[in-house]
Amino acid sequence: MVGHGTLLSRRSSAEFWQDPQLDVTDVENAVGARLALVDLGLAPPLFIDTRYRLLRILGKGGRGLVCLATDEHLHRSVAIKLYPALQPGAVSQEVVLEAQALARLEHQNVVGVYDFGDGALALERADLDPSQAPGQPLLVLCFYMTMQHVHGQSVRRWLGMVKRSREQVLDVFHQAGWGLVHAHEAGVVHRDFKPENVMIDEKGRALVVDFGFARHRSGTQPDAGDGVIARWQDTQIVGTYEYMAPEARLGKNDARSDQYSFALTLHEGLLGCLPPVTSAGVAYVEQHRFPGAVARVLNRALALDPVHRYPSMRELLAELPARWDDQWRWERLDDEAAPSRKGAWLAAGMGAVLFLGGGGLGLALWRGWIGGEAADERDQVEQVASDEVEAPSAVTGCPSSELVGVWSLENEVLWDWDSSRRGVVSEFELEIVARGDCDFVGRMAKLSYRDGARTKRYEAPLRGEAPLHVVRRGALVDVQGTWLLETSSEQDTRRYYFSLEVDDGQARGVYSRLVNGGRPGIRGLVRGAREGRGRPSVATVEALPCRYQCELLCAGEVARKSCETTRCSEHYSRVGECGPPSADFETPMSTQRMLARWRDGEWSPVSGGKGCEAELVAGDWIVDGRLPGGGSRRWTLSLQEADKCRLIGFAKGETARNHSLRVEFDEEGRWLATDPLDPAWAWAVYGWSFAVGEGADGTKLSARRQGY
């Protein structure tokens, strides 16, 4: 039974001293710093509402924090969502309504809500700024909501831990789908369904979590006290852009929008990537890569017009196979009628769906769908979309003459899980073909690679074909694509992602080889040219356009976007550094395995031969860390060779303790840093000029060599 606590609207904010300049990140840093002191026994426990003792930060969203806490009354662990700095009014009322709506959801595949209320976090200014004198109070007014704490991992991490069978993936999505069925039938729309928001508990049960953007399907939620209808303030676009339905990107969504997000996430779970998109921003399902039964479900759930998706999640799950090889057929259903509105509905059988990233064309297509709305409301929604969604602006004119032809691409490895591949150069051939009005396809072939003086040419080149996402930026043209390259015998398959900027017959950009559920396993730069042109001189990261520097150097999608916003004032601005990893960054599985071996006493460093990379790693480094309790720290590393396979040095913390260091390597050149004076401390890192990793305490790490 959910208690209503003490609502913000019933308490005067004059009882609290609140700094109006604080934002969620400030509160995250202050709470993280205080919890670190609590762990060391240097500060008293941190409570909210005298009942919930905060233990560590689990995550951060746009409006608040999620922490692990102990309910001191019932002696159980809970997840508690904190919404700092809320004042009485529409926003606090919206959170109250959210809690009331979620309290109605009781299902084995939906995380349960226990309680909500308001209170104050009793912090100090020194928690936010270590230069401040202790004892200066910082009271942060918060609304809170407590929920079931799921002991497990997100679907994204679950998929990346080990190779999962297609049947296992389908089973997890069936479970999550039934959670959405229950929410929808209770009148609640999730609005942010994605791999991070499905948890797998210790028993293998899937639970849908984080209904932080949820709303009642009617836009209203009754107050249980007097029957007054309180309306949601839903004028802004919410959700995670890559997983949002087209209508959701314009601020219009319902339960069918969750179907779209579910289908995208299922596609990623089964193949390790989101669906490919055309140059117009239209994504589609590659029919040949799925059994007919699965392709059928994805096609219909990804229909552009919500009218042509399933009537409900219940019907979708009824048609979603439990096995990968199920191949039953369907008769035409009554609700598969012709479009009831004029506009740009693309047939569900084509598996097409619109992404606003396609620029003006996408917005023009979508205007047909909302043609029945009042003109002033439509203009308002489109204005919100243009303010909220970051997308390159398209201009009139298809760049066929600038793209069509055969391109010679040269890729150079800058980051890899195996240091022996540093500097390896590979030759690719890309043939771009126009198949219609601004619709391009790329035929990619990997021809050879060069490792030092040795060059190997493939007798049977790896080949693949993929649609291209093409956007014009003034005089420049951006080209993106993801290819599954394979030999004719299909004995060797590899997935590559390319993002290129084309200018006057030359191309420069970045590429990744994707592994472990779509994570970049190799990263590097690309230089290329169309037939008859010379390749541009691109030998370093700094020679790339600024946004590509961000893509290479930043750990996490949020960090990358922040880098583009704050550091790319000019096209070729030098990024220099990205700061700590963002909360969405997934640390490499190999570093997690290194730490597991170290904890179990099974760590065995190399003593000679392959993997001895002391000379490569020696020097001065800057390391930024995102702490598991929230907040960030920075260290300066100074490392010098003790021998070919070992370094010694120190890590000087700007706002953290110092460490003496011993650095050793495994056979792939990944390095483990330990402190001889602190047997519980370790970092597992890999990379040679810029690197990422994880600490034994769960700190996410991003490192760069000074001057790089």
- Cβ–Cβ < 8 Å for 481, 498: yes
Nearest partner of 532 among 506, 498, 510, judged by Cα: 506
* Cα distance between residue 488 and residue 338, in whole Å: 41
Burial of 396 (0-12, 13-18, 19+ CB in 10 A): exposed
Nearest partner of 197 among 78, 130, 111, judged by Cα: 111
Burial of 161 (0-12, 13-18, 19+ CB in 10 A): middle
Task: Report the amino acid identity of residue 48.
Answer: I
- Give me the count of residues in the chain: 708
Task: Report the amino acid identity of residue 482.
Answer: T
Distances in Å between the Cα of 129 and the Cα atoms of 18, 48, 83, 301 are: 16, 21, 21, 49
* Cα distance between residue 76 and residue 611, in whole Å: 46
Distances in Å between the Cα of 183 and the Cα atoms of 106, 152, 179 are: 9, 22, 6
**C-alpha of 707 from chain center:** 29
- Cβ–Cβ < 8 Å for 436, 442: no
Place of tokens 């050793």: 664
Backbone angles phi, psi at 33, to 5 degrees: -65, -45
Contact partners, residue 98, CB within 8 Å, separation at least 6: 145, 211, 212, 214, 215
DSSP, collapsed to helix, strand or coil, labels residue 305 as: coil
Contact partners, residue 337, CB within 8 Å, separation at least 6: none
- Which two tokens mark 662? 């011993």
Bridge partners of 485, per DSSP, are 494
* Cα distance between residue 521 and residue 478, in whole Å: 23
> Tell me, what DSSP letter sits at residue 532?
T
Number of Cα atoms under 13 Å in the Cβ half of residue 351: 23
- Cβ–Cβ < 8 Å for 169, 269: yes
Question: Could you say which of 192, 418, 478, 675 is catalytic?
Answer: 192
> Tell me, what DSSP letter sits at residue 540?
S
* Cα distance between residue 444 and residue 456, in whole Å: 18
Task: Report the amino acid identity of residue 131.
Answer: S
Number of Cα atoms under 13 Å in the Cβ half of residue 607: 2
Judge whether 504 counts as a catalytic residue.
no
Give the chain's radius of gyration (CA, Å).
Answer: 26
Q: What is the 3-state secondary structure (H, E, C) of 633-698?
A: EEEEEEEEEEECCEEEEEEEECCCCCEEEEEEECCCCCEEEEECCEEEEEEEEEECCEEEEEECCC
Contact partners, residue 129, CB within 8 Å, separation at least 6: none
Contact partners, residue 293, CB within 8 Å, separation at least 6: 319, 321, 326, 327, 328
- Which two tokens mark 265? 């996430």
- Which two tokens mark 398? 């298809």
Torsion of CA 232, 237, 242, 247, to 10 degrees: 80
User: What is the set of active-site residues?
Assistant: 192
